[in-house]
C-alpha cells in the first residue's frame, strides 16, 4: 500500500452547468484510521446525477467528493469487518477512504454470480430505485403502457425491463440514436423515442404509445414531462425519482399541464431510495436471480481511474452515457 493517493476534491459550488473548475485532482497522504475505524481500498466508484444536487447544498467546498463505492477492507478496528472483506457504501472519489466506526458499510456477496460493481447499480441503489418505482408505486398491469425517461440510464434501463417482466409494454426515451438502438435492441424495450431528434414530443408519444401512458417512470422533468402529462391515461401513476433536466437550471420555468393531474385523476409520487433501504436484504437475491437467469440484462459504462471522475460526471450530466457510469479505481 502506497503512502499517497489520488483524490478528487469539491472546490467550487457551481452555478448552472458544472465544469472542471468545481473539482481539484490532488495527491495526498492516505489517512490513518482511528482505533474503531475501517480503512477501505476503493475498487469501483459511482458517478450519479444526484451528486449535482449535493454540490448545490450538502457538500462543503474543500471536501472529497463523497460517492457510493465498492471496496475491500484493508484495516479494521470494527468487529463486523476484517481485512479482505468486500463492502459497499458511501466512500469517496479517492483511492482509499476511512469510514468512521465503519458506519454505513454493507456487505458485498461475491457468490451471487454477478460482478461486484453491480452493487453500485443494478444490484444496488439504482436497481432498487427502479424496482420501487415500478413495483411499489407504478404497479403496471399486464397490457398497460409504461413510459420510461432516461431509458438508457442506470435506473431507466432496469425500470423498463421490470415493466416488461410484469407484462406491460415498455417504451423509452433517450437522447441519441445509439442510445435508442441500445434501449430497443439490447434492453428489449418495445419502442424508444429520441427526445432530442423528435420535432414534436406529443406526436412522438402518440406514435410510440398509441394506447396512451398508464405509468410514467419520471427521471427528467421539463418539456418531456409536460408532453407526457397530456398523453397519460386516466388513473395513471407517475413515480418521480429524478428531474435531471432541471438540475443545472438557475430559474424554474414551471410545469405546464398540471391540470391533467386533476382531470385524469393521476397520482404523482416523488420518492427516494433512502426511504426504502430496509428492502435491500430481501430484494438483492431476487434481483441477482433475474440477472443470472438472463431475464434482466445490464450494461455498465466503465471508466478507468479516479482522476477521470470530473470528466465522467460532467459528460453524464450532458447526456453522453450509455448505461450506468462507473469508475474502476486503478
Binding site for its own copies (CB under 8 A): 221, 225, 235, 240-243, 246, 252-272, 275
Cβ atoms 44, 120 nearer than 8 A: yes
- Nearer residue to its own copies within complex by CB, 112 or 134: 134
Instruction: Give least dist CB 253 to its own copies, A.
Output: 6
- Nearer residue to its own copies within complex by CB, 11 or 58: 58
Instruction: Give least dist CB 241 to its own copies, A.
Output: 7
Torsion of CA 228, 229, 234, 238, to 10 degrees: 80
Cβ atoms 149, 126 nearer than 8 A: no
Give the count of beta carbons closer than 10 Å to the beta carbon of residue 188. 14
Give the count of beta carbons closer than 10 Å to the beta carbon of residue 116. 18
DSSP result, 56-102:
HTTSPTTSB-EEEEEEEEEEE-STT--TT-EEEEEEESBSEEEEGGG
- Nearer residue to its own copies within complex by CB, 53 or 77: 53
Instruction: Give least dist CB 249 to its own copies, A.
Output: 9
Instruction: For residues 165 and 134, give the distance between their C-alpha atoms in angstroms, rounded to a whole number.
Output: 11
Instruction: Give least dist CB 133 to its own copies, A.
Output: 12
DSSP 110: G
Instruction: For residues 74 and 330, give the distance between their C-alpha atoms in angstroms, rounded to a whole number.
Output: 16
Q: Where are the alpha helices (DSSP H) in 95-197?
A: 125-131, 156-165, 177-181
- Nearer residue to its own copies within complex by CB, 73 or 238: 238
Q: Are strands 66-76 and 145-148 parallel, antiparallel or unpaired?
A: unpaired
Instruction: Give least dist CB 69 to its own copies, A.
Output: 24
- Nearer residue to its own copies within complex by CB, 102 or 133: 133
- Nearer residue to its own copies within complex by CB, 182 or 260: 260
Instruction: Give least dist CB 238 to its own copies, A.
Output: 9
First to last CA, the chain: 13
Instruction: Give least dist CB 242 to its own copies, A.
Output: 7
- Nearer residue to its own copies within complex by CB, 190 or 226: 226
Amino acid at each position: 500500500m502506497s503512502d499517497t493517493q489520488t483524490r478528487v476534491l469539491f472546490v467550487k459550488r457551481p452555478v448552472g452547468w458544472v465544469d472542471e473548475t468545481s473539482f481539484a485532482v490532488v495527491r495526498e497522504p492516505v489517512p490513518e484510521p482511528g482505533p474503531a475505524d475501517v480503512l477501505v481500498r476503493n475498487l469501483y466508484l459511482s458517478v450519479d446525477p444526484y451528486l449535482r444536487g449535493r454540490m448545490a447544498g450538502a457538500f462543503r467546498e474543500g471536501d472529497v467528493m463523497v460517492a457510493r463505492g465498492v471496496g475491500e477492507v484493508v484495516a479494521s478496528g470494527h468487529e463486523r469487518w476484517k481485512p479482505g472483506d468486500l463492502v459497499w457504501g458511501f466512500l469517496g472519489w479517492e483511492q482509499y477512504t476511512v469510514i468512521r466506526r465503519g458506519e454505513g458499510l454493507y456487505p458485498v456477496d461475491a457468490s451471487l454470480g454477478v460482478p461486484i460493481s453491480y452493487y453500485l447499480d443494478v444490484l444496488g441503489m439504482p436497481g432498487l430505485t427502479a424496482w420501487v418505482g415500478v413495483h411499489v408505486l407504478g404497479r403496471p398491469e399486464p397490457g398497460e403502457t409504461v413510459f420510461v425517461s432516461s431509458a438508457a440510464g442506470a435506473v431507466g434501463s432496469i425500470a423498463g425491463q421490470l415493466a416488461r417482466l410484469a407484462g406491460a409494454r415498455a417504451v423509452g426515451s433517450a437522447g441519441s440514436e445509439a442510445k435508442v438502438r441500445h434501449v430497443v435492441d439490447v434492453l428489449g424495450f418495445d419502442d424508444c423515442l429520441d427526445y432530442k431528434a423528435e420535432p414534436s414530443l406529443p406526436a412522438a408519444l402518440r406514435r410510440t404509445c398509441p394506447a396512451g401512458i398508464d405509468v410514467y417512470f419520471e427521471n427528467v422533468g421539463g418539456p418531456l414531462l409536460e408532453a407526457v402529462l397530456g398523453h397519460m391515461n386516466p388513473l395513471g401513476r407517475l413515480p418521480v425519482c429524478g428531474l435531471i433536466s432541471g438540475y443545472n437550471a438557475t430559474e424554474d420555468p414551471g410545469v405546464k399541464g398540471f391540470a391533467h393531474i386533476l382531470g385524469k385523476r393521476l397520482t404523482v409520487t416523488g420518492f427516494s431510495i433512502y426511504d426504502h433501504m430496509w428492502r435491500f436484504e430481501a430484494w438483492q437475491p431476487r434481483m441477482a436471480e433475474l440477472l443470472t437467469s438472463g431475464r434482466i440484462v445490464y450494461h455498465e459504462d466503465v471508466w478507468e481511474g479516479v482522476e477521470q471522475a470530473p470528466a465522467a460526471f460532467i459528460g453524464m450530466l450532458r447526456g453522453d452515457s450509455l448505461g450506468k457510469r462507473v469508475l474502476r479505481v486503478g
